[in-house]
Amino acid sequence: MNLVSELQKVKGVGEKTGLQFAQAGIHTVGDLITFLPRAFEDFSHVTGITDIKPGKATIKAHCEMIVTRPVRRGLRITTATLTDGTGKLQAVWFNQPYREAQLKTGEEFFFSGEFEFNYNRYQLTNPSAEKVSEVPVQTDRVLPVYRAIKGLKSTLVRKILDELKPLVTMLPETLPTTIVQKEKLLSRSDAILAVHFPKTPEQIESGRERLAFEELFELLLASQLNRQENAKLEGWHIPFEQQVVKDFVAGLPFTLTGAQRIAAWDILQDFEKSTPMNRLLQGDVGSGKTVVAGLAARQAAHEGFQTAVMAPTEILASQHAETLQKLLSPFGVTVGLLTGSVKGAARKELYKAIGNGDVQVVVGTHALIQETVSFHRLGFVVIDEQHRFGVKQRQELLKKSEHMPHLLAMTATPIPRSLALTVYGELDISILNELPKGRLPIKTKIWSPNSRPQLYSLVDEEITKGRQAYVICSLIDDNPDNDIKSVQAEYKKLQNSVFKHRRIGLLHGKLAPGEKDAVMQLFARGELDILVSTTVVEVGVDVPNATVMVIEDADRFGLSQLHQLRGRVGRSIHQSYCYLVTSTSASPSQRLKEIEKSNDGFYLAEVDLSLRGAGEIYGHAQHGALNLQIATLADTKLIARAQSAAKAFVASGADLLEYKELAAHVKKYQRLTTLN
Ligand code: ADP
Ligand code: MG
């Protein structure tokens, strides 16, 4: 038996089990050995039930009674009474009906979960359960838990791995030995042994460190190599014309912030180089990214180059088109808007105008990357809210030019440095860390649902002063199964009662594009007082006269999302307010408290990263595709170490091809992250 033997050959793996593994992509012995635990269950600290305190707890108990009942469609609750001789407590599982069969055997189990106050009593929520008889006694009782594969329990995976233990020691080293030594890392086989067969938490940590380092090293090395390749590309040379830029700036109704000037200067310098720009413009909501892009587009147009601006939604695309039109038409630069709702003859016309260069700045949704669109000397590509676009879509757009165009990716989701390095490793970064002068910090306050009348009177006062308000709900339609607010119902309710005397609009993703636009236009022109909307307004919408943002069921939103939503107000010299209404009168979550406390997107991004992990926040288009198994992007110190090791490796002129497996992984990451 060796690493490439079929898994079926292993003792204890029948045909059925073999097939189940195969469906999860695990075919060989080597595949299973490198199938790493997703978490660890620590049964080393057992508490007696009488001594249990709120928080994470492990008990050793029998199940006395267990029932499952359907609560509503899609929700089944299993409750059990657990006893350990010192006392009894209740355990609750959501949608885990199999717990009944598992626990009814009467054996003793370790249960580990959150002991918390819920539904009017203390209970152990969603605890894991492991038979005491199956937890090895010679260890500290720390057990690896594997990603669920249909029909295969962690217990079985552990058993099979036990059989394979001798083979693990044969795993070859994949990292250059100099790096392993310098970084004081475990060898690859020792690290994998440590995570599959942990004896102590410290051992797990060393194993994890080594494996996470390896992943990050591969990823960062890929970025380094992509950077090297980008540097060899031939781009468009767009010379800097001082007078052109001066005139543009002089025409603005405001003065640029220092940060805007620096970012613009970064871009204009990149334009002059023979290699294409790859730059990320990172600015907190309201920091004024659009005008920076506009300035660069002006310079490009002056030298006869076309600019494409790609936005993730129609609303945003049409708003950008309008803004850029205002900024650029005084200089004779033509702006066109291409979205899914431009149809028939108008669309054909537009294609033609784009193709022959009559339209100099093309704004659009992903309609821009369709086969049929051909550009004319496309020199500059701007991608707004870049984390919403996958690498592939960016590549499609960049392909539409004879030379690689200069790329400016813009994002209002501030990215912690560690994340920027890993996910956007081949981009240069400009940061707008300064809000335009005269902006007052938004006042944010958490409200419990029963204080709504008071809240509404505050909203009404603002409207009386001539301001406008957003009311955000998470659903479009009411769902009979829950009490979550929907825009349809809120719209009706507000219109028929509290705000009868006000002009209210309704916006959500299911409206036809034309309808969405019409509502947005009304709101932007001040012809609506209140806009009841889903999160379609989340990104980029700019109506400076709106000063109130009410977010219903605020606890349902992520931190970054709340910050984005809040960024729709606070865009003028007027004081703005953000009111977060919770779903219940229970004490508000950490998230809401953080957002109430801080207006700083960079700070909130760090908090969000530590609360949730990166995959959730930055979407699967990029981070998910990286498929990091072990490393998390919150590993800032490890990322820094891996980064300098990768740089040193490249600088040393070492030949990657000497490390076969490493090279294969790096190639994969290069393909996943490259812009070209
Ligand atoms: P974001 O960075 O969130 O995309 P926008 O580009 O939409 O921000 O700009 C937000 C608002 O601030 C817009 O109304 C814009 O006209 C205005 N703005 C941009 N720069 C400045 C500035 N330097 N001074 C005053 N207002 C500005
Ligand atoms: Mg914007």
Q: What's the CA-to-centroid distance between 309 and ligand 1, angstroms?
A: 17
**The predicted structure's pLDDT at residue 619:** 44
Whether 285 is in the pocket of ligand 1, judged by its Cβ within 6 Å, is: yes
Q: What is the pLDDT of residues 167-190, one digit of tens each?
A: 998 889 999 999 999 999 999 999
pLDDT tops 70 at residue 625 = no
Type and span of the H or E element at 124: strand 121-131
Highest mean pLDDT among 90-99, 454-463, 621-630: 454-463
Here the tokens at position 113 are: 């979960």
Residue tagged 């990322």 (tokens): 639
434 DSSP 8-state letter = -
Q: What residues flank ion ligand 2 with Cβ within 5 A?
A: 540
**The predicted structure's pLDDT at residue 402:** 79
Whether 382 is in the pocket of ligand 1, judged by its Cβ within 6 Å, is: no
Whether 249 is in the pocket of ligand 1, judged by its Cβ within 6 Å, is: no
Q: What is the pLDDT of residues 199-228, one digit of tens each?
A: 888 889 999 999 999 999 998 999 889 888
The dihedral region occupied by 151, where left means phi > 0, alpha psi between -120 and 50, and beta the remainder, is left
Here the tokens at position 618 are: 């930055």
Q: What's the CA-to-centroid distance between 291 and ligand 1, angstroms?
A: 7
Query: Which amino acid, one-letter code, is at 79?
Result: T
d(Cα 124, Cα 89) in Å, to the nearest integer?
8
Proximal ligand: closest to the CA of 313:
2
Distances (CA, A) of 490 to 478, 511, 532, 583: 9, 16, 7, 14
Whether 288 is in the pocket of ligand 1, judged by its Cβ within 6 Å, is: yes
**The predicted structure's pLDDT at residue 81:** 95
Highest mean pLDDT among 303-317, 416-430, 658-672: 303-317
pLDDT tops 50 at residue 623 = no
**The predicted structure's pLDDT at residue 105:** 82
Quickly state the pLDDT bin for 88 (edges 50, 70, 90): very high
Pairwise pLDDT comparison (155 vs 674), residue with the higher score: 155
Whether 539 is in the pocket of ligand 1, judged by its Cβ within 6 Å, is: no
Q: b/e per residue, 495-528, with b = 16+ CB within 10 A? A: beebbeebbbbbbbeeeebeebbebbeebbeeeb
Type and span of the H or E element at 335: strand 335-338
Pairwise pLDDT comparison (78 vs 414), residue with the higher score: 78
Q: Three-state DSSP class for 272?
A: helix
DSSP 497-566: TTTTTS-EEEE-TTS-HHHHHHHHHHHHTT--SEEEE-GGGTTT---TTEEEEEETTGGGS-HHHHHHHH
**The predicted structure's pLDDT at residue 620:** 39
Type and span of the H or E element at 464: helix 452-464
Q: What's the CA-to-centroid distance between 118 and ligand 1, angstroms?
A: 45
Whether 436 is in the pocket of ligand 1, judged by its Cβ within 6 Å, is: yes
**The predicted structure's pLDDT at residue 78:** 94
Type and span of the H or E element at 641: helix 636-651
Pairwise pLDDT comparison (42 vs 211), residue with the higher score: 211
| Shortest-distance Cα residue to atom 25 of ligand 1 | 436
Q: What is the pLDDT of residues 472-484, one digit of tens each?
A: 999 999 887 788 8
Domains and CATH numbers, the chain: 44-134 (2.40.50.140), 242-272+288-411 (3.40.50.300), 443-598 (3.40.50.300)
pTM of model > 0.75: no
Whether 312 is in the pocket of ligand 1, judged by its Cβ within 6 Å, is: no
Contact (Cβ atoms closer than 8 angstroms) between residue 499 and residue 530: yes
CB atoms within 10 A of CB 14: 9
Quickly state the pLDDT bin for 370 (edges 50, 70, 90): confident
Whether 601 is in the pocket of ligand 1, judged by its Cβ within 6 Å, is: no
Whether 411 is in the pocket of ligand 1, judged by its Cβ within 6 Å, is: no
* Number of the ligand 1 atom closest to the C-alpha atom of 542: 7
Sheet arrangement for strand 577-581: 443-447, 577-581, 546-551, 468-472, 530-533, 504-507
Pairwise pLDDT comparison (631 vs 37), residue with the higher score: 37
- Best substitution site from 248, 290, 313, 413 to test ligand 1's pocket, by max atoms within 8 Å of Cβ? 290
57 DSSP 8-state letter = E
| Shortest-distance Cα residue to atom 12 of ligand 1 | 288
Whether 412 is in the pocket of ligand 1, judged by its Cβ within 6 Å, is: yes
CB atoms within 10 A of CB 136: 14
Residue tagged 């690493």 (tokens): 3
